[in-house]
Amino acid sequence: MPELPCADEQFELTLSAHFLFTYADRLHFDFHVQTLLEMLRVTRHEVRIFPTVDLSGKRYEYMDELKSIVEQRAYSVSEVKTSYEFQRNAHTMLRIQELSQ
């Protein structure tokens, strides 16, 4: 990351688990933005990222700023509660979809 060896819109659904947000203390905000934009580039319909917390169980500090950047690019962004919680507060995924859907 942040450059994937994939074609534009190669995948219907792209998943990221236990990477973005989880290591926010080691990966700066710009890395998160660039990685997320790259995931959107290779995805046709939907990106999901789980969990939305760091290793201490706190919501990603810059989540609102990141959501705003993505929404400005004509995507719907929502934080969706899941039934799975593998660590304290790790029960939410970020769901990003094209607005045209």
Relative to beta strand 92-98, strand 43-50 is antiparallel
How confident is the chain (101 residues) per 10-residue block, as mean pLDDT?
Answer: 87 95 92 95 96 95 97 96 89 93 55
Task: State the maximum Cα–Cα separation within the chain, in Å, rounded to a whole number.
Answer: 37
pLDDT recorded at residue 101: 55
With beta carbons less than 8 A apart as the criterion, state whether 40 and 11 touch.
Answer: no
Helix (H) or strand (E) holding 50: strand 43-50
Please state the domain count of the chain: 1
Question: What pTM value is reported for the model?
Answer: 0.90
Per-residue 3-state assignment (H helix, E strand, C coil) for 23-87: CCCCCCHHHHHHHHHHHHHCEEEEEEEECCECCCCCECCCHHHHHHHHHCCCEEEEEEECCCCCC
Residue 1: inside a domain:
no
Residue 61: inside a domain:
yes
pLDDT recorded at residue 1: 60
Residue 5: inside a domain:
no
Residue 2: inside a domain:
no
Residue 30: inside a domain:
yes
Domain that holds residue 67: 11-98
Q: Residue 76 pairs with which residues in a beta bridge?
A: 97
pLDDT recorded at residue 73: 94
Q: At what angle do helices 63-71 and 29-41 cross, to 10 degrees?
A: 30
